[in-house]
Amino acid sequence: MLAEKTQGKFHIWDKLHASPPISLKDRIANALSRLKIQVEKLDQIGARLQERGKEIFDKCVKAEVAKDESHAAIYANECAEIKKMAKVVLHSQLALERVILRLETIEELGDVLTTIGPLVGIVKGIKGQLTGVIPEVAYELGEINDTLNSTIVEAGDANARSEDIKASDEEAQRVLGEANAIAEQRLKERFPEMPSALIAPRTESYAEIEGKVYEYIVSHGREISLSGCATALGVPSETVREAVESLSQKGKITIESAETA
């Protein structure tokens, strides 16, 4: 009997000291704060890609002037890959900025049920787009999407009609489409067009060569000869040197001189 009373006391204590439920306003504020952080990350990544694209473009031009067609083609294809990634980043950033604006409106007006539905579809779409590109941002967007979903449930819209869900999905797709069109236009302003003659021949991209250099370093005990690696991969030593420097900048390897080693 004593045990039952003790358990009852603990039960009452737990109820008295349970954490209060998070309000809808706090949920939205939390989602807003986290979204702004992710948009800032995407902005920084986009700036780095633009800088990297300009650097590779300049190298492509120099290779063309020097009549080094093989290097020019490699650089041109790398520029194309950078531009593809930049488009994904910019498209994601623009779409999420629309989500932030909508959430700020909801904060002001409190109209949760009729406006938050499409946001879930937008964030979910961007999460899928970034999963294989920037996984840490994609993961955070998944968490934010869970918050938005729980907000809808908390607001009493758990049993939304199928036509409402369809309308939300259609609006989400419209917003994503608009963001894609704007991203295309801005990319033209930020990235110079590469001569199609350089990109058309399918040669190994710079990213592929960089990956092979990294694999070569790992397989050789992380100590290599630039000339030996170049011979093994069938590329110029200068290309290997640039790949090593790029890997170092990305934090994948650490460069040490023979004296330091």
The residues, any chain, with a CB within 8 Å of residue 130's CB and separated by 6 or more, are: 88, 92, 137, 138, 141
Residue-level pLDDT at 195: 58
The string of DSSP letters for 179-243 reads HHHHHHHHHHHHSPPPPHHHHSS----HHHHHHHHHHHHHHTTT---HHHHHHHHTS-HHHHHHH
SS3 state at 37 = helix
The two structure tokens encoding residue 103: 């959430």
User: Got the DSSP string for 248-260?
Assistant: HHTTS-----TTT
Domain ranges of the chain: 24-197, 204-249
Share of the chain above pLDDT 70, in %: 74
Asked if 85 and 49 count as a contact pair (C-beta separation under 8 A), the reply is yes
Which residue, among 181, 171, 179, 178, has the nearest Cα to 120 in the 3D structure?
A: 171
250, two tokens: 């990305």
CATH 1.20.1530 fits 24-197, yes or no: no
Sign (positive or negative) of CA dihedral 73, 78, 79, 84? positive
Return all residues near 218 (Cβ < 8 A) that are at least 6 apart: none
Q: Quote the pLDDT of residue 228.
A: 76
* pTM, 2 dp: 0.60
Mean pLDDT of 172-191: 80
With a cut of 80, say whether residue 2 has pLDDT above it: no
Instruction: Give the tens place of pLDDT for each residue, 102-139.
Output: 888 877 776 555 567 778 888 888 888 888 888 999 99
pLDDT at 231: 74
- pLDDT of 204 over the 70 cut: no
Q: How confident is the model at residue 19 (pLDDT cuts 50, 70, 90)?
A: low
In angstroms, how far is CA 228 from the centroid of its own chain? 35
Please tell me the predicted confidence (pLDDT) of residue 22. 64
Residue 93 has what pLDDT? 93
| CB within 8 Å of 26: residues ≥ 6 apart | none
Q: Convert the pLDDT of each residue in 44-73 to its tens digit.
A: 999 999 999 999 888 888 888 888 888 888
